[in-house]
Amino acid sequence: MRVTVRLFAMLRERAGSDSVEIELAETATVADAIAALGRDPQVGDLAARLPLRIAVNREYADADAAIEPGDELAAIPPVSGGDGRVRGARVSSEPLDPAAITALVGDPGAGAVVTFQGTTRDVDKLAYDAYAEMAEPRIAQILGECAVAHDLKAIAAEHRIGDVPLGEASVVVAVSAAHRAEAFAGAREAIDRIKAEAPIWKKEVEGEAESWVEGTVP
């Protein structure tokens, strides 16, 4: 069967396209798709070197997961859900407003509010790419789990994509809790997991020089 695989970040740049097509057997698995990408004439030299994950229908899939005709596949290079307490989980190309995001987590039972901003430093700008349709629900899931784990009153996060100039915020996480210890711990876990699990990639741009920032496997 012929399968389209969506590409992001350095893979999309190498291919010069948002996707490639690979040929798989009718009984193919995710491991077979990764192997086929490693042989692809457009991205194979890069895909074979990267520890890729494959998302099937916008969920990370194990190597032995079966691929069915019509599945949506995406190649996820190393990356640079919840309840009513999740007040926002958004990926946006617009400048972020930390005050507005913090306002989302206001709660009469909160004795502490913590807001974290990740900003561009040392380079002219950062350029972010994302698998937005998967990133937003993944961030929402992370926030919901953090709310439960740290007994938060509310939590919200937004991540910017596209170009983020020096000094501007690329990600904002805001949490509220009854006490400061829970608020700090919840904010810390949320930003750490967003950076590790959300399919978002970062390129540093300094003058004419640019390079993708190394990451970890989701």
Burial class (CB in 10 A: 0-12, 13-18, 19+), 197: middle
List pLDDT tens digits, range 66-77: 999 999 999 998
* CA distances, 11 to each of 7, 19, 43, 80, 159 (Å): 6, 9, 6, 14, 21
Q: Is the pLDDT assigned to residue 92 strictly greater than 70?
A: yes
Confidence of residue 45 (pLDDT cuts 50, 70, 90): confident
Mean pLDDT of all residues belonging to the chain: 93
- Is the distance from CB of 9 to CB of 77 less than 8 angstroms? yes
Rounded mean pLDDT, 162-184: 97
List pLDDT tens digits, range 1-29: 999 999 999 899 999 999 999 999 999 99
**Lowest mean pLDDT: which of 38-47, 130-139, 209-218?**
209-218
Taking the CA atoms of residue 82, residue 87, residue 90 and residue 92 in that order, the dihedral angle to the nearest 10 degrees is: 180
d(CA 211, CA 126): 10
d(CA 23, CA 138): 29
